[in-house]
Amino acid sequence: MKFIHLSDIHLLGTPSDKLYGIKPSKRFKRALKNIRAHHSDADCVVITGDLTNNADPGAYAQLKKQIDGLGIPVYPLMGNHDHRKTFWKFFPEFRDGNFVQYVREFDNRVFLFLDTLVEGEEYGLLCEERLAWLEKQLKRYADRKVYLLMHHHPIRSGLYRMDTVGNFRSAKAFWKLLSRYDSVQHIFFGHLHRPMQAFHRSVSLSATRSTTFQVAYRPDETAEHLTTSVQPAYSVVKLDEEDMAIHLCEYLGEYGVSRVED
């Protein structure tokens, strides 16, 4: 199978609104255009959270309008900038109980979409209710290849802000639960606004860039370091019987189909 990993699109209320001098709506639109042109055979597109910047209803409306015309199923997640009730007004189908958590099956593979949002906070977690939901799914799909998708990073990133005010606060309970199952193959996450590959024991993890602004890796600084000078990108994930390959695609410049502009 093949799927697209998009993250942190940070849509604003109207398409012409700018964030750090760039238009998130335009950049997202161009990502979808590029996906349609070059990866129309993808089984799905996942967006690992921060769908909006301010949880504006207009931003969710734009998201719905843009993905409805894509022709590939899109599976969105909550990020710390999102708001569940506003999201559900436009996407009521992505819900189990009180959270934006759900399951999708692709032959022998199972994707578990997790909700790490604590509304109004930059950090994320899985409360007892969400951990119980995850445990139920892990039990149910114990003999399948399981992939987790979530916004917050369940490991230390080495980025000061992301590991303090913006961290994932259920890591201990999360990994303890996962240690009881050998079905989890990989975890896809967002939030960092930069690509990252990692392992926790035998479980591999990866993040992709934002389609809007990026975060520079400055381990010597304790200040947030945002940048718009790095190109936006999405990842193409190819899963074969035994292999997984992840390609970062800088869609504004690759393939020669579009120029770098905002």
User: Judged by CB under 5 A, which stretch of 13-21, 77-85, 176-184, 248-256 contacts Fe ion?
Assistant: 77-85
Asked whether position 8 contacts Fe ion by CB under 5 A, the answer is yes
Nearer to Fe ion, 31 or 146 (CB): 31
Residues in 18-57 at the binding interface with Fe ion, rule: CB under 5 A: 50
SS3 state of residue 168? strand
Phi, psi at 11, each rounded to 5°: -65, 145
What is the Cβ-side half-sphere exposure of residue 207, based on CA atoms within 13 angstroms?
24
Q: Which helix (H) or strand (E) holds 193?
A: none
Distances 105 to 38, 62, 91, 144, 239 between C-alpha atoms, Å: 24, 27, 19, 10, 14
Asked whether position 211 contacts Fe ion by CB under 5 A, the answer is no
Asked whether position 79 contacts Fe ion by CB under 5 A, the answer is yes
β-strand partners of 227? 214
Nearer to Fe ion, 137 or 210 (CB): 210
Q: Are strands 196-200 and 203-207 parallel, antiparallel or unpaired?
A: antiparallel
Asked whether position 191 contacts Fe ion by CB under 5 A, the answer is yes
User: Judged by CB under 5 A, which stretch of 1-9, 17-25, 108-116, 172-180 contacts Fe ion?
Assistant: 1-9
Nearer to Fe ion, 30 or 151 (CB): 151
In the list 80, 101, 157, 170, the residue contacting Fe ion (rule: CB under 5 A) is 80
What is the Cβ-side half-sphere exposure of residue 70, based on CA atoms within 13 angstroms?
29
Asked whether position 83 contacts Fe ion by CB under 5 A, the answer is no
User: Judged by CB under 5 A, which stretch of 51-59, 71-79, 135-143, 198-206 contacts Fe ion?
Assistant: 71-79
- Read off the DSSP letter of residue 11: B
Nearer to Fe ion, 76 or 146 (CB): 76
Q: What is the DSSP string of 218-256?
A: -TT--S--EESSSPP-EEEEEE-SS-EEEEEE-TTTGGG
Asked whether position 137 contacts Fe ion by CB under 5 A, the answer is no
Residues in 161-190 at the binding interface with Fe ion, rule: CB under 5 A: none
Asked whether position 82 contacts Fe ion by CB under 5 A, the answer is no
Q: Which helix (H) or strand (E) holds 5?
A: strand 2-6
Asked whether position 116 contacts Fe ion by CB under 5 A, the answer is no
Smallest gap from residue 128 Cβ to Fe ion (A): 23
Using CB under 5 A as the criterion, which residues of the chain lie in contact with Fe ion when the complex forms?
A: 8, 50, 79-80, 191
